[in-house]
Amino acid sequence: MVHIKGNGSAFPEEEHLESLSDVTDEQAAPPPNGWRRAFRNAFVTIVVVGVVISLYLWYLSRDLPSLQQLQDFSPDVATKVISRDGKVITELFTQQRVLIPRMQMPLDVQHAVIAMEDKRFFDHWGVSTRDFARAVLVNLASMRYRSGFSSLTQQLARNLYDTIGFRKTITRKLKEMLTAIQIERTYTKHEILEMYLNSIYFGHGTYGIQAAAREFFGIDARDLNLEQAAMLVGVLPSPAGYSPITHPDRNFKRRNLVLHAMTENGYLEREEYDRVKYKPIEVKRPQVAAGFAPYFTEHVRRQMELEDERLGINLYQDGLEIHTTLDSRMQEIVERLFMEELHKNQEVLNESFLSNDSLIYSVIDTTVFFMDSVKAMIRGEIPIDDRLKDRLLVQGAVILLENDTGHILALVGGRMDYPDYFNRATQARRQPGSTFKPLLYMTAIDQGYPVSTQLLNQSLASTGDALIDTNLWNPQNDDGSSSGLVTMREGLKRSLNIVSARIIQEMVTPEQVVTMAKQFRITTPMRAVRAISLGTSEVLPIELTAAYAAFANRGVWVEPVSVTKVVDRRGKILRDFIPDRKEIISEDKAYLLLDLMKGVVNGGTGARIRWMYNFNRPAAGKTGTTDGWTDAWFVGFTPQLSAGVWIGVDDPRVSLGEERYGNIAALPVWARIMKEVHEAFELPGTDWPMPEGIAIMEICPLTKDRPTRYCPQPRERELFLEGTEPPDQCQVHKGVDTRPFRPDDDIFLN
């Protein structure tokens, strides 16, 4: 049967199939612009992603080091403090680092670092693509951070530039990679390796292979052997965890791992590996350099901190060379002899305490400290409590100056067995006692008084200066003696307190003495009272020593200096330090006082220098002791050197012991130091030349006037400033012949 619909075909099945075919072909065929649209969408996506990534990388790179920073490799480097005889006496740093060129780094060190840290170092462009892919696969497989991929250059970037950071984040890693690529574009591989080995941290405060070699072995990096090189490289992943000092067993395994890696990478023969892998770890740390001249180096550090801003430097990071005035050989002599004599003084103080409980009660609160414990501290059976050191320990200070330059050749500011940050040489204000008297006598000479002026060596008592000193003032000589008239020369030679008191009462005023002290650059406050004549106003040991050096320089004061120059890491001199010099008293007046002080050494209170210690070179000085023997001094000089010695206890209430005068407690330190230094350095023994303006004249030993032929023999020879010679002839020894004085009597000696 045939069904016909409308205009239907005679073959309806064929029509249906044709229609179905048409629909299928139309539906299956893509639109004419479909592929273009797909490519366009993909391209846009790629561009957008690229822009986003670029913007993100730009954002990350904002705080990355600039090209200029990359080109200026300048990590923090330790500053060296160098003695004038060329020794490094200490280093100042926040990071202990010493830069050296790659040629001074053994090949074993370089090979060990490459074998352990980045064996494809010479093949990549800052980031190892293979290591990066491996780390990504490992971390994705474990779904946590298990493997890193830092190349040696990336490590360098992280260590040199703190803007990158150290946290294990994707951001930090991207910053690290970007900086590493820039470093590779800026430097050669060998330069990068050199920078890496100069900057990497090895533990115990050391940065760089040179500092590490010195810290762990006491040698320079160029002298490291194979096993030492492997040991140092072995600590790099964890300097604290693999330290050969605190964890030698772990370090031993790490060292052998490094040796094995060197063997696997062709840097080491198997036979050599087998030979060294059983060798034990031998760390030989050098003596700590900071223990040498600690008070001097701390003084230099404080002085240089004041120069930081003015010179535009960073004392702890810029790798400077600070050339100082210290002579390490003299410093060793001073420290050794100072401590030997200090222990003798300590024994006397200990005996005083142990033999008299009341002395301990007077200075120590026994409600806080048991008496038995205090005595055990004194005997050395238990450590001295920090709170009692200022009362139980004898302290001291020594300053050794070169007269004509003001250079501090040696300095001790306290005990070497209990070092602290208080420098008694430059910071301790102590009463100088009789060591202040030369300034008093200098004031009288400056006022025109001849040194033959006689004063009554008899006790005086008077009320003090109104509104200034209301106490009864009745000074006595240390030995309780008195006598008739004595000259100024004799008064200084024997350190007679009564004569000093009469000088300030009858010849000069306290205000004039204060002015003279300031003229000699004594900066501590001085009270203008008559007691100043006995040294009751406090002084700094270094200032008093410098004042004495002005006498040795015949009136020229030279500023004490500790630094001669500062040099940057490139050898450029940043500053030369020139000491201030000023003539503060005329040469003839200074020489006159110098001659008086020579008398102290040759036959006065300082005579032990001659007969006990056999120091026979030209020398002058003065002893000093304060009430109750709390301070003992000797300050003196030769034509080349001046030295000041103070011995005491930090707490001024504590006495050094009965009759511990300056010539007993302090003079031995001075005499032994000066004798050994002069002999060791073969300093010349020439005396001071006499300047113009000085006349030598014979005087009557009794009246101190021009002698007659009947005056007793031998007559005294005295020095006078021209114009201050005695005008009168002796009226006591006239004899029968009363002829007036005639020039041909030959009383002037030239």
CA distance 249 to 155: 26
What are residue 641's DSSP bridge partners? 402
Q: Please state the pTM of the whole predicted model.
A: 0.73
Residues 119/260, Cβ–Cβ less than 8 Å:
no
CA dihedral 735, 737, 742, 744 (to 10 degrees): -90
At residue 749, φ and ψ (nearest 5 deg) are -120, 130
Closest CA to 535 of 445, 435, 446, 660: 435
Instruction: Evaluate the omega torsion of the peptide bond into residue 65 and state whether it is cis, within 30 degrees of 0.
Output: no
Helix 437-446 / helix 587-603 crossing angle, nearest 10 deg: 140
At 632, the pLDDT band (50, 70, 90 cuts) reads very high
Cα three-residue angle 74-319-579, rounded to 5 degrees: 140
Contact 322, 81 (CB under 8 A): yes
Per-residue pLDDT tens digits for 295-310? 999 999 888 888 877 8
Give mean pLDDT, residues 37-45: 73
Least confident of 106-110, 241-245, 371-375, 489-493: 241-245
Closest listed residue to residue 699, CA positions, set 689, 708, 707: 707
B/e letters for 497-515, b = 16+ CB within 10 Å, e = fewer, are: bbbbbbbbbebbebebbbe
Lowest mean pLDDT segment, chosen from 122-126, 142-146, 151-155, 670-674: 142-146
Q: What is the pLDDT of residue 173?
A: 61
Residue 735 pLDDT? 75
Please report the pLDDT score of residue 267 as a whole number: 92
Q: Which residue has the higher pLDDT, 52 or 218?
A: 218
Provide φ and ψ at 745, rounded to 5°.
-75, -10
Q: Please report the pLDDT score of residue 744 as a whole number.
A: 46
Q: Which of 172-176, 396-400, 622-626 has the lowest mean pLDDT?
A: 172-176
Rounded Cα gap, residues 61 and 309, in angstroms:
31
User: In this predicted structure, what is the pLDDT of residue 163?
Assistant: 46
Name the most confidently modeled range: 32-36, 50-54, 97-101, 292-296: 292-296
Q: What is the dihedral of CA 292, 298, 303, 305, to 10 degrees?
A: 120
Give the DSSP letter string of 251-271: HHHHHHHHHHHHHHTTSS-HH
Burial-class residue 45 by CB neighbours within 10 Å (0-12, 13-18, 19+).
Answer: exposed
Given its phi and psi angles, is residue 746 left (phi above 0), alpha (psi -120 to 50 degrees) or beta? Answer: left
- 690 band by pLDDT with thresholds 50, 70 and 90: very high
pLDDT tier at 15 (50, 70, 90 boundaries)? Answer: very low
With beta carbons less than 8 A apart as the criterion, state whether 551 and 583 touch. Answer: no
Is the confidence at residue 413, as pLDDT, over 50?
A: yes
What percent of the chain is modeled with pLDDT above 70?
Answer: 80
| 235 within 8 A of 202, measured Cβ to Cβ | yes
Other residues' Cβ atoms within 10 Å of the Cβ of residue 427: 17
Q: Which two tokens stand for residue 491?
A: 């008064």
Closest CA to 83 of 230, 266, 264, 293: 293
Nearest to 70 by CA among 210, 181, 165: 181
Directed axis angle between helix 226-234 and helix 248-264, to 10°? 110
Spacing of C-alpha 649 from chain mean position: 24
Structure-token match 């032994």, residue found? 672
Residues 6+ apart with CB under 8 A from 323: 82, 84, 563, 564, 565, 566, 567
- Residue 228: pLDDT band (50, 70, 90) is very high
Rg value, the chain, Cα: 42
Q: Strand locations in 123-251, DSSP E?
A: 201-203, 206-207
Residues 6 or more apart whose CB falls under 8 angstroms from that of 355 comprise none
Average confidence (pLDDT) over 669-694:
96
What phi and psi, each to the nearest 5 degrees, are found at residue 225? -95, -175
pLDDT surpassing 70 at residue 6:
no
Q: What is the pLDDT of residue 656?
A: 95
Residue 32's CB is within 10 A of a number of other CB atoms, namely 7
Closest C-alpha to 90, from 283, 307, 316: 316
Structure tokens, 284 = 């030989």
Mean pLDDT of 642-666: 95
Answer with the residue of higher pLDDT: 643 or 62. Answer: 643
In angstroms, what CA-CA distances link 739 with 35, 344, 733? 144, 61, 12
Asked if pLDDT for residue 708 goes beyond 70, the answer is yes
pLDDT over 60 (residue 146) = no
Closest CA to 579 of 563, 596, 566, 591: 563
pLDDT in tens, 579-606: 999 999 999 999 999 999 999 999 999 9
Q: Three-state secondary structure along 468-505? A: CCCCEECCCCCCCCCCCEEEHHHHHHCCCHHHHHHHHH
**Contacts for 598 with CB less than 8 Å, ≥ 6 apart:** 618, 619, 620
Q: Is pLDDT of 672 > 50?
A: yes
Give the count of beta carbons closer than 10 Å to the beta carbon of residue 339: 17
| pLDDT score recorded for residue 218 | 84
For residue 293, give both structure tokens. 């001249």
- The per-residue pLDDT for 94 is 67
Looking at 231-245, 450-464, 489-503, 620-634, which range is the least confident one? 450-464
Confidence tier at 386 by pLDDT (50, 70, 90): confident
Confidence of residue 515 (pLDDT cuts 50, 70, 90): very high
Residue 412's closest CA among 332, 310, 518, 507? Answer: 332
Name residue 206's beta-bridge partners: 96, 203
Q: Which of 495, 537, 511 is nearest to 447 (CA)?
A: 511
DSSP 393-423: SEEEEEEEEETTT-BEEEEE-S-SSS--S--
- Return mean pLDDT, the chain: 84
Q: Is the pLDDT of residue 492 over 80?
A: yes
Task: Please give the DSSP secondary-structure letter assigned to residue 715.
Answer: P
Q: Please answer whether residues 76 and 95 qualify as being in contact, where contact means their C-beta atoms are separated by less than 8 angstroms.
A: yes
By CB neighbour count within 10 A (0-12 exposed, 13-18 middle, 19+ buried), where does 416 fall?
A: middle
CATH class of the domain comprising 95-291 = mainly alpha
Rounded to the nearest 10 degrees, what angle do helices 248-264 and 107-117 cross at?
A: 90
pLDDT tens figures, 415-473: 998 888 899 999 999 999 999 999 999 999 999 999 999 999 998 764 444 434 445 77
Judging by DSSP bridges, how do beta strands 201-203 and 563-567 pair with one another?
unpaired
d(CA 725, CA 519): 26
pLDDT band at 75 (very low <50, low <70, confident <90, very high): low
Give Cβ neighbours of residue 479 (< 8 Å, ≥ 6 apart): none
Q: Give the integer Cα–Cα distance in Å for 285 and 244.
A: 11
pLDDT of residue 164: 42
- Residue 149 binned pLDDT confidence (cut-offs 50, 70, 90): low
Residue 474 has pLDDT above 80, yes or no: yes
Q: Among 300-309, 343-352, 529-538, 679-688, which is the least confidently predicted range?
A: 300-309
- What pLDDT score does 689 carry? 95
What is the model's pLDDT at position 451? Answer: 95
Q: How far apart are CA 32 and CA 455, in angstroms?
A: 131
Q: With helix as H, strand as E and coil as C, how does 89-114 read?
A: EEEECCCEECCCCHHHCCHHHHHHHH
Note whether 197 and 102 are within 8 A (CB): yes
Q: Is pLDDT larger for residue 642 or for residue 208?
A: 642
**String of DSSP letters for 49-70:** HHHHHHHHHHHHHTTSPPHHHH
d(CA 480, CA 482): 7
